[in-house]
Structure 1
Amino acid sequence: MKTILNKIVAYINKMQPTQIMVVGFAILILIGGFLLNLPIATRSGESIGFLDALFTATSAVCVTGLIAVDTATYWSGFGHVVIIGLIQIGGLGFMTATTMFALLMKKRINLKERLLIQESLNQIDLSGLVKLTRYIILITFMIEGMGAILLSTVFIPQFGLLRGIWYSVFHAISAFCNAGFDLMGSVSGQFSSLTSYVNNFTVSVTISLLIILGGLGFPVILDIIKNKKLSKLNLHSKIVLITTGILIALGMVSLFILEFKNPDTLGDLGFGGKILAAFFQSVTLRTAGFNTVDLALMQQGSIFIMIILMFIGASSASTGGGIKVTTLATLILTVRSFILGKADIEVLGRRISDSIVRKSLGIFFIGISVVVLGTLLISITDPEFSLVEAGFEVVSAFATVGLSIGGSPRLSEIGKILIMLFMFMGRVGSLTIFMAIISRGPRKSAPIRYPEGKIIVG
């Protein structure tokens, strides 16, 4: 047995950080699937079946929120604890969670582990990674704690002390981790999410702020805490804040206008309720997965805008998914530079390197390819889904959003497997997965460069 363990450790030590990232998330999902497949995890005392258990575990670890069964009414207390545990680990990142336990046990963090933390947090250098991890863990628990306290002012009077506290903690973690899992199925009907709180200012704003903070990314939050003023923030933080603000505002205004007279969504709400609901739906598209109105009854134009905003997603090194707001900003700035005929890509007095542009193009192209191919496959495996419903489901999974208009429980077995794959790619990062697959060790500089060739484009 000891020999086998030594061989496993030796094999892991030979793996690249990207490969360990992929394997680590996969193992965590399998463990979650096994626990949720136990009879004790369900209210009925019967096993759900490994596929649906694995689907739920994948959605929780990948902080997505797509579900095969209603979370509140199907799972037992044990199941709820497993789900929220997987969400917390998935939101932090398994390496951050591992580091947290290592620090609690006063274990030394070696170079290999630092490289893994660097990869999981998408950091440029190795310096200060353990300190950064400590701050991330502390900030996470502080923000979730404050969110739970605010939510408890609504949930404790409604559900009683113990149940109110549990609901507050569960939804605070789920919101900050951009997961979208909720326990409202036993309150307002299965798969209802937060629709019964569409006019509740405290719940809507608290959940929205938790989603925004989780989607900004830990480096941005730390930069804000350290420098406080916008002018003193680094370039990454400025771009994230500006782009996020613009996207939320555009989403809010678009949904407000398109759904203003729709009686099935915003039409029957007061003016203030319309603004609150439109704001909440725009924020939740940052990859959170909650909703306060029935998305399936929205106008086609609204659904199209939602697909675009979901695909963009949140910020790098955050709890959200998507191609990331910095990727979008880089591509827009690249096009702007081309139109203006500038040699460099400039923004806010800084120049963006060619390597960042190439990475952004790669992420965008891979993302588009996955969504197009995924939509085609789902439309084949699940023909009862319309093309819009299939596309919405795929983007929601790939961007780890968790919203659905076609109904995830209606997916076939093959469809669920495909959606699990897209959720996994979205959380770990499609670029990370491809790099893990093709990685063959340290890269060497090319000894020669080919002569430049000319092609005609445009």
Structure 2
Amino acid sequence: MVNLFKKRGNLIKLHPAQILAIGFATLIVIGTILLMLPFSTYEEGRGLNFINALFEATSAVCVTGLAVVDTGTTFTLFGQIVLLCLIQIGGWGFMTTGILMFIILGKKIGLKERLLLQDSLNLFTLSGVVQLVRKIIRITLIVEILGATALAIRWSYEMPWGKAIYYAIFHSVSAFNNAGFGLEPDNLSKWVGDPTVNLAVTFLFIIGGIGFTVILEVWQKKSLRKLSLHSKIALLMTLILNVVGFLIIFVAEFNNPHTIGNLSLNDKLWGSYFQGVVTRTAGFNTIPIGDMTLSSLVFMMALMFIGASSGSTGGGIKVTTFAIIMLAFWSVLTNREDVNIFRRRISWRLVNKSLSIGVTAIIFIFIIFFLLTFTEKADMVDILFETISAFGTVGLSTGLTGHLSPLGKLLITFLMFIGRIGPLTMAFALMSNRPESKVRYAEEKILIG
């Protein structure tokens, strides 16, 4: 990609991927400083130490939800509001927030900002990117207000109105942005069979995980047949993974007395539904993750790796990437030259990029997982689950997060950062300054398989 961003008179050149990485890193640094302030926590008037503050800030900006301290009892109102702001900005992306500031201040949005926004939101063209930001803000506010209203009404029956409204706003923002931060020590476990809480929270993170472009297209075209191929695949894969996730968790946990085994059939269904659909995107839980069967944990790791839709508040390699990889695999098995779906052909350039994202993600996960086996004294399943959860910016944990060593926290922090900006974007940020080779060598075949 042509480098359009350089400092006059110097040799410094920045690729859009590098600017995105620097932007998110800046937000994390600001959040870390704020969480280290004495009035951010209750504990003896002292803020968090640097490593814990860095971990929490990264988890919030990268909308992950992993936490080394209990959010509700550790942070003061100020600290919780800082987390909430970091979650909202992180969910939008720093470029979307930056463009919003430009709009509010009435400043001109130049080509550089538009290109960065295009890269940040994974858009095909520059056309209408600023207008898209306005729509993203409107969608966010409307959905979060609807979710908060439903939760506030429900929680007003068991807590004062003021607390119910605050709880509702916090969980609504956290859910829509697929963060998973909660104010209760056991997250949402006390409402495992509550229809209102289950439906409101899942509505929020499913909408947030589908992607802004898909939401807008569905709203504007109001017909599945008229949707773009991207939207069709995103919606289809979301539906399939949610249904399969619900069924697998229900079967695997049905007789587990530590999760849903002792619950009524109604509560079993709600618990399985919630944990089946939340796994790909948000870190909420209504059943104890550490007590789930090995089968459930392994399947949940697969869902966390896949993640949400492209251009959404969720992480992972994205459902469209996974779909393209599976379609390419099927094309190879059936000896077809083209990758086809819905009577449309997908270019091999896009297939190669999808494969690159998948391979890059696996490499980053393996490296961090391997290093964590040295730093942490825990079962391999717990370490791998924590690693994939961090990469997928999911936030679910079997209980390892609070027991991570200082070095382990830094490794997970780094992986959350990679998961938020994207593994391929991170690779571009690290290697984009290398000159493009103009040499094309002679082709030769090798044996594979």
Residues 398-418 of structure 1: per-residue CA shift (max 9 Å, x gap): 100000003211000000000
Which of the numbers 320, 324, 331 marks the counterpart of 1:330? 324
Give 1:180's aligned amino acid.
Answer: G
Residues 121-159 of structure 1: per-residue CA shift (max 9 Å, x gap): 011111110011111111011111111011111122222
Counterparts of residues 235-254 of structure 1 (less than 5 Å): 235-254=229-248
Which of the numbers 421, 430, 433 marks the counterpart of 1:440? 433
Q: Whole-Å Cα distance in 1 between the matches of residues 57 and 9 of structure 2?
A: 29
Partner of 1:394: 387
Q: Say if 2:366 is the partner of 1:372.
A: yes
Residues 230-278 of structure 1: per-residue CA shift (max 9 Å, x gap): 1111000000111111111111101100111111111122222111111
- Structure 1 residues 24 and 282, CA, compared in 2 at 3 Å: closer, same or farther? same
Partner of 1:16: 15
For structure 1, the 5+ residue unaligned runs are: 1-6, 185-189
**Shift, 1:11, TM fit:** 7.2
Which of the numbers 284, 307, 311 marks the counterpart of 2:278? 284
Which of the numbers 435, 443, 457 marks the counterpart of 2:448? 457
Counterparts of residues 312-351 of structure 1 (less than 5 Å): 312-351=306-345
- Structure 1 residues 243 and 89, CA, compared in 2 at 3 Å: closer, same or farther? same
Partner of 2:170: 170
Give 2:61's aligned amino acid.
Answer: V
What's the secondary structure of 1:359's corresponding residue? helix
Percent same amino acid among aligned pairs? 46
Q: Say if 2:25 is the partner of 1:26.
A: yes
What's the secondary structure of 1:417's corresponding residue? helix
**Shift, 1:447, TM fit:** 4.3
TM-score, reference length from structure 1: 0.94
What's the secondary structure of 1:449's corresponding residue? coil
Give 1:15's aligned amino acid.
Answer: L
What's the secondary structure of 1:402's corresponding residue? coil
Q: Is the 8 A contact 2:181 2:284 kept in 1?
A: yes
Q: Say if 2:38 is the partner of 1:39.
A: yes
**Shift, 1:437, TM fit:** 1.5
Give 2:36's aligned amino acid.
Answer: N
- Structure 1 residues 437 and 10, CA, compared in 2 at 3 Å: closer, same or farther? farther
Partner of 1:135: 135
TM-score, reference length from structure 2: 0.96
Q: Say if 2:58 is the partner of 1:65.
A: no
Give 1:34's aligned amino acid.
Answer: I
Q: Whole-Å Cα distance in 2 between the matches of residues 251 and 9 of structure 1?
A: 53
Partner of 1:54: 54
**Shift, 1:433, TM fit:** 1.2
- Structure 1 residues 452 and 229, CA, compared in 2 at 3 Å: closer, same or farther? same
What's the secondary structure of 1:19's corresponding residue? helix
Q: Whole-Å Cα distance in 1 between the matches of residues 418 and 182 of structure 2?
A: 23
Partner of 1:429: 422
Q: CA RMSD in A?
A: 1.6
Q: Whole-Å Cα distance in 1 between the matches of residues 243 and 8 of structure 2?
A: 49
Q: Is the 8 A contact 1:310 1:401 kept in 2?
A: yes
Residues 86-130 of structure 1: per-residue CA shift (max 9 Å, x gap): 000000001001111110111110001001101110111111100
Partner of 1:112: 112
Residues 356-404 of structure 1: per-residue CA shift (max 9 Å, x gap): 1111111111111122222221111012x11000000000001000000
Partner of 2:223: 229
Give 2:182's aligned amino acid.
Answer: D
Q: Say if 2:190 is the partner of 1:196.
A: yes
Q: Whole-Å Cα distance in 1 between the matches of residues 439 and 420 of structure 2?
A: 37
Q: Whole-Å Cα distance in 2 between the matches of residues 355 and 159 of structure 1?
A: 55
- Structure 1 residues 86 and 264, CA, compared in 2 at 3 Å: closer, same or farther? same
Q: Is the 8 A contact 2:383 2:400 kept in 1?
A: no
Which of the numbers 299, 302, 306 marks the counterpart of 1:305? 299
Q: Is the 8 A contact 1:211 1:283 kept in 2?
A: no
For structure 2, the 5+ residue unaligned runs are: 1-5
Partner of 1:156: 156
Partner of 1:213: 207
**Shift, 1:440, TM fit:** 2.1
Give 2:417's aligned amino acid.
Answer: F
